[in-house]
Amino acid sequence: MLISKLVGSRTKENPADAVIKSHALLIRAGFIKSVAGGIWSFGMPAKKIAMKIEKIIRDEMDGIDGQECSFPVVMPKELWDESGRYSSIGDELVRFEDRNGHKLVLGMTHEEAAVHFARDNITSYQQLPCMIYQIQTKFRDEARSRGGLIRVREFTMKDAYSFHLTQDCLENYYQKVFDAYVRIFKRIGLKKIIAVKSDSGMMGGKISHEFMFLSEMGEDKIVICPHCEYKANMEIADAIISPNENNDKDTNVTEVFTGDAKEIVDVVKFLGVDDKKTIKAVVYNIKSSNKQVICFIRGDLEVNEAKLKKVIKSEIVPVSLAESSEIVAGNIGPMNLKNNGDQIIVYDKSLDGATGMVIGANKAGYHITGVSVARDLKISDFSDISKVKSGMRCIVCGEQVSVVNGIEIGNIFQLGTKYTTSMSMRVLNNNGVAVNPIMGCYGIGVGRALATVAEETADDKGLNWPLEIAPWEVYLCPIRYDNPDVKKLTLELYNEFTNAGIETILDDRNVTPGCKFADSELMGIPIRVVVSPKLLNSNTLEIKLRGVDESKIVLRNDIIKIILDIKNYV
RNA sequence: CGGGGUGUAGCGCAGUUUGGUAGCGCACUUGGUUUGGGACCAAGGGGCCGGGAGUUCGAAUCUCUUCACCCCGACCA
């Protein structure tokens, strides 16, 4: 490739609206261009990187007997009605109509298509287990795309679906995919990947893992125990909360005036008590209904909304308390709460056995002190709806856990029979009985992986691609390309590299050396070979690795061997 | 969907307060001089000042409206 012909120009200045490194540098290097919010064009270099990542993924998926298929981007409503997801998924699923008024969706994931394809083709247990996968465009109408390629609306994803007769078989294969994922992320240059237990969300199923790259940029919160193997997404993470200290002097239920103190911090300040000695109320509306859910939780803790959704088995939306006339915002308490039947009350397990607590009096300006949960509230059922905080104790080993951020790059799910049941996929087992196969599904975001590698490896000079996914392996950099001898040698080398299978981009421009060096670094090409008039007589070249300060002068005749050695070493 | 911000040449920005013929740097074109860390000189090309409506003799600038993008939040395989 000649750089003079490459479509995608490089700039010295950062784009004004890019805040994260990978976003800014991919644009500065001319690799990507925004078309609309969360929708991007990829130039040749970015496309090459994506294809190399896909090749590695393909390699590993084929290695665990995956069969590459292709499912459609556009699917009919009816197919998504079969699984029930046409109506259960929110606005993230793009719905539209064709010219005949036929309702269609844009694929955001392909369980339906995979089961549709498999159910008529797999009829016997003898065909199981098997896995089909594709690498293809998805569209999700994200409420807010952000961070360049980190969170987008249109993206390429590898999605795989496996079918099994038994749970054992699924678990066995699940582990194989797990191991393949570890190899994939290592091969594309992501070393700091960890697998965490996660919430299955709308996918259904029980066991699932997310592959997280630990980064400040990450949108997911992960609970990690530094002392044992416990790692979990905040959504499902559990930890031992500090126990209730019940050495209270004031054990009489007393209504006290608290004035404008409504938030827990204010109440704590007003009454001079520890936040652990308070019970706060958090209210949500239940989606698509008039009902509300009121959560009572110890004052030092927060509600984990993902856990809450599971407890009440409903979607929730935040509530504006002014809307409600029944409850007194800021003074909500579990005693004498007017319940008109439209409210679900959930008590967090942190309240179990607590005494001497401060609660809202359900009366503007008043709280109640000295409340014993067991004596005064007579709660029969506690749920776990609290969010883990740094410093809580690990449920496995009891040491302090920490909360870190991560970028989710891949995930794996044990789906069970959710889709094979709803979509009527059956196979005959060895007794001739029709059963629903058990499914697993497995995803990796290609563009997000690309952006994450960029994010991790880039430095102040620019991008820095690992050799295995670099758009080109060698940046061939002649100085004084207008010098006929330099040009002759450069073209010789270019041909020799190409013939040796070394992917090379040639900087054929007549610009100053500094300009070429800067561009080679901005683009992040791993190996730079410099042809220079002053090295011509000694029949030598200069070779420099991206990210390494020193360069080396080597004999012209050794250059191919040296480059191949570097490739083999990596 | 809430809160905040920004829209002027491919990119980065000034000009808007106080209305009076559209500017700067980078990039691009041509010629010349340069060439080991983003060269210099000269001459050029490129704008419906996001869109619409208004006020005015006159609008990038004032008013109303709309759209897009970015950030925070909500939301989310």
Write the pLDDT tens digit of every residue in A206-264: 789 999 999 888 889 999 998 888 899 988 888 888 888 877 766 788 899 988 887 78
Positive or negative CA dihedral for A250, A254, A257, A262? positive
Per-residue pLDDT at A328: 76
**Interatomic distance A106 CA / B50 C1' (Å):** 29
Q: What is the pLDDT of residues A164-183, one digit of tens each?
A: 999 999 999 999 999 999 99
* pLDDT in the model for residue A249: 67
* Closest residue (CA to C1') to nucleotide B76 in the complex: A142
Asked if A142 CB < 7 A from strand B, the reply is yes
Pick the residue with more confidence: A280 or A487?
A487
Å between CA of A20 and C1' of B66: 31
Confidence category of residue A313, pLDDT binned at 50, 70, 90: confident
Comparison of pLDDT for A26 and A198, the residue scoring more: A26
Interhelix angle A446-457/A44-63, nearest 10 degrees: 110
Residue A64 is predicted with a pLDDT of 98
Nucleotides of B under 7 A from a protein CB: 1-2, 5-6, 10-13, 25-27, 34-39, 68-77
Rounded-to-integer distance, Cα A240 and Cα A224, Å? 13
- Position A509 pLDDT exceeds 80: yes
A8 touches strand B (CB under 7 A): no
Strand B and A154 CB separated by under 7 Å? no
Q: Are A44 and A52 in contact (CB under 8 A)?
A: no
| Closest among A193, A98, A89, A101 to A142, alpha carbons compared | A89
- DSSP 8-state class, residue A5: G
CA of A331 to C1' of B71 (A): 34
Q: Give the distance, in angstroms, between residue A145 CA and nucleotide B71 C1'.
A: 11
pLDDT at A80 over 90: yes
A34 nearest nucleotide via C1' and CA:
B69
- Give pLDDT, residue A286: 79
- Does A361 score more than 60 pLDDT? yes
CA of A107: nearest nucleotide by C1' is: B77
Between CA A138 and C1' B67 the distance (Å) reads 26
Share of residues in chain A with pLDDT > 90 (%): 67
Which pLDDT value is given to residue A321?
Answer: 55
Nearest-angstrom CA–CA distance, A204 and A201: 6
pLDDT tier at A390, thresholds 50, 70, 90? confident
Asked if the model's pLDDT at residue A122 lies above 60, the reply is: yes
User: Binning pLDDT at 50, 70 and 90, where does residue A201 land?
Assistant: low
Q: Which residue is nearest to nucleotide B6 (CA to C1')?
A: A17
Split at pLDDT 50, 70, 90, the class of A205 is low
Nearest CA to the C1' of B27 belongs to which residue?
A: A11
A 87-116 residues, CB < 7 A, strand B: 90, 92, 108-110
How much of chain A exceeds pLDDT 70, in percent? 96
Segment A117-132 shows an average pLDDT of 97
The answer to whether residue A202 scores a pLDDT higher than 60 is no
Measured from the CB, is A412 under 7 Å from any atom of strand B? no
Strand B proximal to A15 Cβ, under 7 A: yes
**A517: CB within 7 A of chain B nucleic strand:** yes
pLDDT (0 to 100) of residue A200: 66
- The SS3 assignment for A40 reads strand
Closest C-alpha to A368, from A326, A334, A340, A339: A334
Q: Which tokens is A358 given?
A: 């401060």
Q: Is the pLDDT of residue A204 over 70?
A: no
As a whole number, mean pLDDT of residues A39-55 equals: 96
**Residues 224-283/A with CB < 7 A to strand B:** none
Residue bearing tokens 């905080």: A389
What's the distance, Cα to Cα, between the start and end of chain A in Å? 23
Lowest mean pLDDT among A151-155, A299-303, A465-469, A506-510: A299-303
User: Is any atom of strand B within 7 angstroms of residue A4's beta carbon?
Assistant: no
Contact yes or no for A451/A155 (Cβ under 8 A): no
pLDDT tier, A528 (very low <50, low <70, confident <90, very high otherwise): very high
Does residue A391 or residue A484 have the better pLDDT? Answer: A484
User: Residue A542: which nucleotide is closest by CA–C1'?
Assistant: B36
pLDDT tier at A203 (50, 70, 90 boundaries)?
Answer: low
Residues 331-360 of A with CB under 7 A from strand B: none
| Domains of chain A, CATH where assigned | 16-72+107-234+403-455 (3.30.930.10), 254-383 (3.90.960.10), 474-569 (3.40.50.800)
Residue A568 has pLDDT above 60, yes or no: yes
* Other residues' Cβ atoms within 10 Å of the Cβ of residue A82: 16
Chain A window 173-212, residues with Cβ within 7 A of nucleic strand B: 201-203
Average pLDDT over residues A381-393: 89
Residues A353 and A298: beta-carbon distance below 8 Å: no
Residue whose Cα is closest to the C1' of B26: A12
The reply to whether A37 Cβ lies less than 7 angstroms from strand B is: yes
Give pLDDT tens digits for A466-483. 999 999 999 999 999 999
Torsion of CA A215, A218, A222, A226, to 10 degrees: 10
A5 beta carbon to strand B: under 7 Å: no
* Secondary structure of residue A218 in the 3-state scheme: coil
Which nt has its C1' nearest the CA of A284? B74
pLDDT higher than 60, residue A103: yes
Average pLDDT, chain A: 91
pLDDT for A439 beyond 90: yes
Map tokens 């883990």 to a residue: A388
Residues 6 or more apart whose CB falls under 8 angstroms from that of A253 comprise A335, A368, A369, A370, A371, A376
Asked if A383 contacts A348 with a C-beta cutoff of 8 angstroms, the reply is yes
The pLDDT assigned to A238 comes to: 87
Residue nearest to nucleotide B69 (CA to C1'): A37
pLDDT at A388 over 70: yes
